[in-house]
C-alpha cells in the first residue's frame, strides 16, 4: 500500500509540469530555457522556474510512511485538488496556514499567481524558511488558543455572531477570541482566492489547534473585496485533516457543510456575484445558536 501511494505521488509530481504547460499554454507564462528531467520517473519537462524544480525534488524525496503526525503529508488526491484550483484560477492570491513539507510545492505551483503568503506558529522555522528561500513571503503567528478549549471557544463565538465574531468584518480590529488580528495589515486587504488551512498543530490537547485559522479563513473569504474593475470571485478554502473533530466541527460551523466538495477534502465558500453574504450569520437559517 505504501509503495502504491509513493508511486502515485511521484507520478503526480512528474506530471504536474505537463499540467501547467497544458492549462496555461495559450497564456505563454513559461519562457523555456533548456530542458530539465525528473530523474525518478524519467519524464522530461520544460520550465524556467527554478523553484518549481526544487519543490518537486524536495517533495519527491520525502518518506511518505515516516512523516511525523504533527504534519502528516497530503495524499495525491488532496494535492491534486489544491493544484487544480490554483491552476484554474487566474492569477490567484494564495494564503497558507502551516509550514509543512508541501510548502515549497505550494509556492512553486503558484509561481505565476499574484501573491503567495505562508503563516506559521513557529518563529524559528519561519525565519529559517525565509533564509533558505529568499523572496518567499512568510510570517509567524502567535496563537493563544488550545485544542482543549475548542468547545468553549465555539460556544462563546456562537453567542457573539452579531457583535465581535460576526462573519463580515475587518479582523485587524476584531475582539473575537477566534479572530487573528495581529497579522501584517496588508494581509487583511488582499482578496484571497485560495486559502489552505494546514496548521497550526492540533493533534494534542495543549496544541493551539486550527480553530482560529478556520474562523479567520471564513471571515477573510466572506469579507473579500474585489479589485477595481474585477468581477467578484469565490474563495476556495481547503482544510487538511478534516476527519479530526476540531477541523470537522469548526469547518461545519464557519465554512458551512453545505459547501463541502472534493470528496471531503475541500470546503468551498461560493457567493453569487450580485448578492452579498449575510453580515450576521455564517449559515443562513442557523441563527446565532
For residues 242 and 265, the answer to whether their CB atoms sit within 8 Å is: yes
Mean pLDDT of 39-52: 43
Give the CATH number for residue 242.
3.40.50
Determine the structural domain holding residue 186 and report its residue range.
Answer: 74-283
Residue 128: its pLDDT value, please?
96
Is 14 part of a structural domain of the chain?
A: no
In a domain, 58, yes or no: no
pLDDT digits (tens, 9 = 90+) for 147-166: 999 999 999 999 998 899 99
Q: What is the DSSP letter of 66?
A: G
DSSP conformation letters of 12-61: HHHHHHHHHHHHTTTTT-----S-EEETTTTEEE----HHHHHHHHHHHT
Tell me, yes or no, whether 42 lies in a domain. no
Residues 6+ apart with CB under 8 A from 97: 119, 120, 195, 196, 197, 198, 199, 200, 210, 213, 217
Cis, bond preceding 200 (omega within 30 deg of 0): yes
Q: Minimum mean pLDDT among 41-55, 83-97, 198-212: which range?
A: 41-55
Residue 171 lies in a domain: yes
Give me the residue label for grid cell 445558536: 289
Query: What confidence tier does 260 reach under pLDDT thresholds 50, 70, 90?
Result: low
Q: Is position 4 within any domain? A: no
The CA–CA distances, whole Å, from 46 to 8, 16, 107, 209 equal 21, 11, 18, 40
Q: Which of 222, 212, 137, 158 is nearest to 182 (CA)?
A: 212
Q: Is residue 54 in a domain?
A: no
| Position 265 in a domain | yes
Question: Quick check: is 247 in a domain?
Answer: yes
Amino acid at each position: 500500500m505504501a509503495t502504491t501511494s509513493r508511486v502515485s505521488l511521484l507520478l503526480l509530481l512528474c506530471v504536474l509540469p505537463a499540467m501547467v504547460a497544458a492549462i496555461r499554454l495559450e497564456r505563454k507564462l513559461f519562457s523555456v530555457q533548456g530542458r530539465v528531467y525528473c530523474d525518478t520517473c524519467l519524464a522530461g519537462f520544460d520550465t524556467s522556474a527554478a523553484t518549481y524544480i526544487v519543490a518537486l525534488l524536495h517533495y519527491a524525496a520525502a518518506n511518505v510512511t515516516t512523516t511525523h503526525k504533527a504534519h502528516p503529508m497530503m495524499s495525491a488526491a488532496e494535492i491534486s485538488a489544491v493544484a487544480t484550483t490554483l491552476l484554474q484560477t487566474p492569477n490567484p492570491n494564495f494564503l497558507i496556514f502551516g509550514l509543512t513539507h508541501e510548502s515549497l510545492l505550494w509556492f512553486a505551483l503558484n509561481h505565476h499567481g499574484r501573491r503567495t503568503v505562508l503563516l506559521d506558529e513557529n518563529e524559528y522555522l519561519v525565519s529559517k524558511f525565509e533564509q533558505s528561500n529568499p523572496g518567499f513571503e512568510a510570517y509567524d503567528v502567535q496563537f493563544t488558543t488550545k485544542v482543549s478549549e475548542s468547545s468553549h471557544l465555539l460556544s462563546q463565538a456562537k453567542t457573539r455572531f452579531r457583535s465581535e465574531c460576526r462573519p463580515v468584518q475587518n479582523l485587524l480590529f476584531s475582539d473575537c477570541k477566534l479572530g487573528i488580528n495581529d497579522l501584517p495589515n496588508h494581509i487583511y486587504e488582499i482578496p484571497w482566492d485560495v486559502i489552505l488551512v494546514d496548521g497550526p498543530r492540533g493533534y494534542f490537547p495543549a496544541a493551539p489547534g486550527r480553530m482560529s485559522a478556520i474562523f479567520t479563513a471564513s471571515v477573510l473569504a466572506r469579507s473579500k473585496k474585489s479589485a477595481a474593475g474585477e468581477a467578484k470571485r469565490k474563495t476556495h478554502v481547503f482544510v487538511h485533516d478534516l476527519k479530526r473533530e476540531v477541523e470537522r466541527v469548526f469547518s461545519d460551523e464557519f465554512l458551512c457543510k453545505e459547501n463541502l466538495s472534493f470528496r471531503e477534502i475541500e470546503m468551498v465558500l461560493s457567493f453569487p456575484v450580485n448578492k452579498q453574504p449575510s453580515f450576521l450569520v455564517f449559515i443562513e437559517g442557523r441563527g446565532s445558536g
